[in-house]
Amino acid sequence: MKVETYLFGSIEVAAEQVIEFPAGLISFESNRRFTLIHEVETGDPVSYTLQSLDDPALAFQIIDPAALGFSYELSLTDAEEAALKLTNPADAAVMLVLFKQADKNAAGLGANLRAPLILNTKTRLGLQKLLPFVRSNVVLSNLSNFAA
What distance lies between CA 146 and its chain's CA centroid?
A: 39
- pTM score, whole prediction: 0.82
Q: How many domains does the structure of the chain reveal?
A: 1
90-128 pLDDT, tens digit per residue, is 999 999 999 887 766 666 778 888 899 999 999 999 999
Structural domain range at position 61: 2-134
In a domain, 36, yes or no: yes
In a domain, 143, yes or no: no
Partners of 96 in beta bridges: 63
pLDDT in 10s for each residue of the chain, 148 residues: 898 888 888 989 999 999 999 999 999 999 999 999 987 665 677 789 999 999 989 999 999 988 888 887 888 999 999 999 999 999 999 999 998 877 666 667 788 888 999 999 999 999 999 988 766 554 444 444 444 4
CATH number of the domain encompassing residue 36 = 2.30.290.10
Residue whose C-alpha is closest to residue 66's, from 116, 16, 104, 109: 116
Residue 43 host element (H or E): none
